[in-house]
Structure 1
Amino acid sequence: MKLLVLGGSVFLSRAVAADAVRRGHDVTCANRGTSGSVPEGARSVVWDRDDPVPEQLAATAYDAVVDVARHPSRVRSAVAVFPSAHWVFVSTVNVYSDESTPGGRPGTLPMRDPIHEDVDLAVDMEAYGPMKVACESLVRDGAATATVIRPGLIVGPGDPSGRFTYWPARMADGGTVLAPGRPEDSTQVIDVRDLATWVVGATEARLTGDYDGVGHATTMGEVLSAVAAGCDADVELTWVAQEFLTEQGIEPWAGPDSLPLWLPRPEYDGMTAHDATPSYDAGLVTRPVADTARDTLAWLRETPDATVTGIGREREAEVLAAWRDATGG
């Protein structure tokens, strides 16, 4: 298969290119050439997608294209150049306007209204999902055949966001760990390597339809315990109520003042509890979270400059002390 990966140098798109090379496909990665490197065995072509497509790409008949873009203009122009290829477009669960209903799947949840023009997320972060909605439509309308995959939180070695990465790093330090919310709160992650393998399989099979690229719905308690086990960590989890975390100024999900993976309830009960049955039926296979945590920790130790986002140990200790004072613990 002659495969064009739009990207190929960072995280998911790089994992896709690497998996496709391992399977013996002819892989070309097109990106700006300003971050990361493409996997060994893949061809690299420099293309800023705000510029016209390079002739060497336009003149090639690709069997399939994998795209992770969020800008409608870039997707529109690329689909116009490669309309005969099978497209796998990596979207996001943020296309759904209902984030509170657990058990949703494509076709059962309302979608956000599309935004068809490019929006700077530094100005309006809320435009991310609506732009992806528009991109999905461009791919469906313009490509010969298409797969739309909507991931939730992608995790594992090479993660540039540092969100999940916080937890292997923290567990490896041992001791009393601040666990956010309740152990029964839902959460849902997918290893980047498992998602990439499924994406390549979708290109080979010319799979069609819309799917959520998420792992099995599970709980914060199960995930944090699995991370600790994968990191062979001796820890004690202390669960702190979300109302108290908010009072203490702890942010959810991501950022330097956050506890990653934590989301306020009940408004986000559905965002991390999608029904992934259709995706598994369509070939998705996922590994245990403990294995992902082990490999992420190994990558962290080999990569001193890797991003790890979340509160520091001193801040964690302050919040735990305040929680003990407030609860008499």
Structure 2
Amino acid sequence: MANVLILGGTGWLGSRVAERWLDHGARVTCLARGHRPAPEGAHLVAADRTAPGAYDAVADQEWDEVVDVSSDAASVASAVGALAAHTRHWTYVSTISVYADSDGAGDDESAPVVGPGTDGESDYAHEKSAAESLVRTALGHRAAIVRPGLIAGPGDPTDRFGYWVSRFALAGDGPVLVPDTEDKGVAVIDVDDLADFIVALGDARWTGVVNAVGDPHSLADVLAQAREVAGHTGEVVAASDEWLADHAVAHWSGPRSLPLTLPPRHRGSWSRSNTAYKILGGRLRPLRSTLERTLDAEREAGLDRDRVSGMTRQEEISLLSAIE
């Protein structure tokens, strides 16, 4: 029986990885703050990774697999310092945001990455890059680095991917505001496909770096499929990037945004190579399947609920009135 430690394991992706390892018959421990329960069957160790002695309760065991998804390089450093000598294989979940060129369409895992933050610079990409370096230095041939792109599916705490299928469903026969889709695209990987892949790499003790990204879709195709899944029959009103900026509408994520929209110079965010992922057996379920699963979860949560990303229906209606 494999002995697996998930650093986290109670959040969105981490809990799914823990569940998959449990399905494999592993003994699973989740080390997390304890604000949320661990998946049924897993043992929860409540600990603050930023505090001294955070790993004392697990550092005296031998681990077949450690999985870490942290975006804080300092937390990753303390983890590898405490656990690397007692771990057969380590999987670090990074991000394609580490690549230095955001316009690297078709680039594979050999593309240059940003360096660790300097002069006080600390952001998502630099923290993930620094964490990758720490893991690879400490674990060497025992480490797998997985770089996902946009993760989608039920339970997404960022509210990005679910916005469109939810909004089309909420609007019904009413109008929906969309961005100009020319030269824009999206590539998503379903959270459950990613969790399966992470567990498969750990089970095989595979080492190296791999992009875990979906196939590229035009933004127009994603919106069309989301609209069809939602059964929307109203008007679709497109606004230019300039008009949206003038009206304080953000791109990609966050409040008062049209999620998933990025300027053309960010082609690398939706067109990185996934050849290695597929060769390693990674699955990509159809986009429609992820949209359907996401809509089911959105309906359960409430189509008109407050969202982390997107805009309220009232904000959207106000903008639609202004564009006409």
* TM superposition score normalised by structure 1: 0.89
Work out which of the residue numbers 131, 134, 137 in structure 2 matches 1:141.
137
Question: 1-side partners of 2:91 and 2:301: how far apart?
Answer: 30
Contact map agreement 2:55 2:79 (CA 8 A) in 1: no
Secondary structure in 2 aligned to 1:201? helix
Paired position in structure 1 for 2:38: 38
Q: Do residues 89 (structure 1) and 86 (structure 2) align?
A: no
Matches within 5 A, 1:1-329: 1-34=2-35, 36-51=36-51, 52-83=53-84, 84-108=87-111, 110-115=112-117, 127-143=123-139, 145-173=142-170, 174=172, 175-182=174-181, 184-265=183-264, 267-304=265-302, 307-324=307-324
Gaps spanning 5+ residues in structure 1: where?
325-329
Q: What is the rounded CA distance, in whole Å, between the counterparts of 1:6 and 1:92 in structure 2?
A: 17
Deviation at 1:19, TM superposition (A): 1.4
How many equivalent pairs are there? 315
Identity %: 37
**In structure 2, C-alpha distance between the alignment counterparts of 1:206 and 1:97, rounded to whole Å:** 28
Contact 2:177 2:320 in 1 (8 A): yes
Inter-partner Cα distance in structure 2 for 1:306 and 1:256: 10
Distance 1:128 1:30 in 2: 22
SS of equivalent residue, structure 1 residue 268: helix
Deviation at 1:308, TM superposition (A): 4.8
The AA in structure 2 aligned to 1:275 is: S
Q: 1:169 touches 1:297 (CA, 8 Å); kept in 2?
A: yes
Please say if residues 72 and 116 of structure 1, whose CA atoms lie closer than 8 Å, have aligned partners that are also in contact.
no
Aligned mates of 1:78, 1:294 — CA distance in 2 = 38
Question: TM-score by structure 2 length?
Answer: 0.90
Q: Is the 8 A contact 2:3 2:28 kept in 1?
A: yes
Amino acid at match of 1:291: S
Alignment RMSD (CA, Å)? 2.1
Q: Write the deviation string for residues 242-285 of structure 1: whole angstroms up to 9, x where unpaired.
A: 122112221001111100001123x2122222121111111210
Letter in 1 for 2:198: V
User: How far off is 1:39 after superposition?
Assistant: 0.9
Report the CA distance shift for 1:46/1:306 in structure 2 as closer, same or farther (over 3 A).
farther
Q: Take 1:70 and 1:204, find their aligned partners in 2: how far apart are those partners?
A: 23
Q: Which runs of 5 or more structure 2 residues have no equivalent in the other structure?
A: none
One-letter amino acid of the structure 2 residue matched with residue 115 of structure 1: G
